[in-house]
Structure 1
Amino acid sequence: MKDFDAEAYKLSTQVQWDTVAEHWNAWGSLLDRWLGPSTEALLDMCDVQTGSRVLHVAGGSGQDAMQSARRVGNTGHVLSTDFSEELTRLANIQFADAGVSQAHAVTMDGENISVDGPLFDAVISRVGLIFFPDQERSMNSQIDALKSGGTVGALVYATPQECRFFSDPVGIIRKHANLPPPEPGMPGPFSLGAPGVIESLFERTGLTDIQIQKIDAPVTLPSAKDCLRFEQESFGALHQMLGGLDDVAKQKAWEAVEKALEAFETDQGFAGPCTMIAASGRKP
């Protein structure tokens, strides 16, 4: 990762998420439909149940923490953390609107977790660990927040070939913007998706009883145009990649993305290919 400035990367990523937070949250019903089932599978793997204490890292606007809150009930506790103040604010609004008193959200860096009170039964990261510059540091911080015998769970994208709803647009935008491919070891959507990579990370950080499950998670929408709008509104990194282009060149890139996404339209609507990996490991 030559010349990679982790702090500058984290700051720019934080700004991206603060900027798109409202849009991301507005797509909540899609997020639940797309990632909800794989999140439930991960919560099963981590034995989240009535009375559990659950910490969510990179919890965004709270959709995955809400799933935990329903499981743990009034006798449990759910803490959702994210480094974006806007996402954290929206998560707390969502919890309050739903009357979920057992969940709340705070702003926190996922590489430097600091929590008061009893340790947690489970620490969950949904599509968050992949974006940390120092994934081992985050894992160690998560493990420190766990009780002995507690579980860490991560939901990550599989390989680019298995997640073409996103990898195809990224490839097209990278080509239009004349950007080089990411260097090995860089944070990003597919940084933990290759065979054996997340298992190795869990092993290096001392977890045991490691379990891996691949889950089909297509992005279903009425049309490719709807998926284009979702990605334009919610994935700030794509706009950052296009930052060096003028408006005409940007429009050409987005048109190429839409054309590529049209390949995933069916008689029943748009079904963008996506496979998630659910991984869990236990603290000795």
Structure 2
Amino acid sequence: MSENPLAAPGAWDEIAEDYDDVMSELMRPFAVHVVESAPLTGRSRVIDVATGPGVLALLAAPRVGEVVAVDFSEAMIRRLRRAVMQRGIGNVLTGVGDGQDLRYAANTFDAAFSMFGLMFFPDRGKGFAELFRVVRPGGTVVASSWAPVADSPLMTLLFEAYQAGIPGFPAPQANPNSLENPDVFELELIAAGFESVSVTPRAESFSYDSAEQMWEKLTRGSAPLQNMRRKTDAAEWAAQEKVMIDYLREHYVPGTELSTTAWIGTGRVPR
């Protein structure tokens, strides 16, 4: 079992509502790009693994025959089910499940996606192997991971604010063994059996009306930061938060666009 708290559902259950309210905005442009680029038809049956609140699943629904959306967080799935009901969507099926052990038969789907989810799996090899197993020969798999913080001016500024307000907060370190390393990403796709593998960068830019809005949009749905907040005395956190927002006020010009970068990995199941 991984010691990473983000590899367990509890951290995501805690922030499901806020994550959907604010973090989905950050994810959506990447999901739009992936859905528009994938070879989907009105008859396609697709699966979205580690769907979270269903950003990609909801975007894919009008383009395909059926979307199966799976996440290990019950709270995330409840949020998605509510959105499906409110919008009257009839072709999105939801389920709570582990992306490392999917309960679907082999060769079931025409395409599989995992946007910023598989990167947290305790055993990524199992995650990629399951995507390979459930996709039909000739089908497509797309997964994404954030690039290193140093490649993203938006995340760099945010981490500088964390360091200003939280004593001892570590500087972000690139992890060469994670999917933020495109060479590792490519090798893990190949090891799972995929062909025509590619891992390409995708940058999207965001702007905010104020430092306060930036803080709200980027931290309220952040599982790592909210986990830290819960472990900190309330008064102490309030003081730290003020310092961090003050840092953003000093270093961010409202309306300025800042980019963040993701790696988009694609592969095809051999025919």
TM range (shorter): 0.7 to 0.9
Which consecutive unaligned segments of at least 5 residues does structure 2 have? none
**Aligned pairs (5 A) from 1:93-108:** 93-108=82-97
What SS does the corresponding residue of 1:59 show, helix, strand or coil? Answer: coil
1:263 and 1:155 map into 2 onto residues whose CA distance is 32
**1:31 matched to 2:24:** yes
Q: Which amino acid aligns with 1:150?
A: G
The aligned counterpart of 1:22 is: 17
Q: TM-score, normalised by structure 2?
A: 0.86
Q: Give 1:90 deviation, angstroms.
A: 1.1
In the other structure, the counterpart of 1:178 is 168
Q: Which of residues 121, 126, 129 is equivalent to 2:118?
A: 129
Q: Report the aligned-residue RMSD.
A: 2.8
CA drift at 1:244: 4.9
What residue number does 1:276 align with?
Answer: 262
Matching residue of 1:157: 146
> Matches of 1:115 and 1:173 in 2, distance apart?
42
Residue 129 (structure 1) shift: 1.4
Q: Note the residue ranges of structure 1 that are not aligned, 5 or more in a row.
A: none
One-letter amino acid matched to 2:15: V
- Aligned-pair distance for 1:280? 0.6
Structure 1 residues 177 and 84: alpha-carbon distance in aligned structure 2, compared to 1, 3 A threshold: farther
Distance 1:184 1:216 in 2: 19
TM-score (norm 1): 0.82
Does the 8 A contact of 2:74 with 2:96 survive in 1?
A: yes
> Hey, what does 2:202 align to over in structure 1?
215
Distance change >3 Å, CA 194–CA 156, structure 1 → 2: same
- Relative distance call for 1:174 and 1:123 in structure 2 (3 A) is farther
Q: What does 1:56-205 correspond to in 2, within 5 Å?
A: 56-72=48-64, 76-115=65-104, 119-170=108-159, 173=162, 176=166, 178=168, 184=175, 191-205=178-192
Name the CA distance, whole Å, in 1 between partners of 2:8 and 2:199: 28
Give the direction of change, closer, same or farther, for the CA distance of 1:197–1:253 in structure 2 (3 Å limit). Answer: farther
Q: Could you tell me which amino acid in structure 2 is paired with residue 250 of structure 1? A: W
Distance in 1 (alpha carbons) for counterparts of 2:32 and 2:174: 33
Contact 1:24 1:234 in 2 (8 A): yes
Q: How many residues align?
A: 268
What percentage of aligned pairs have identical amino acids? 23
8 Å CA contact 1:81–1:110 kept in 2: the answer is: yes
**Gap change, CA 1:206 and 1:118, over 3 Å in 2:** closer
Q: Which amino acid aligns with 1:96?
A: M
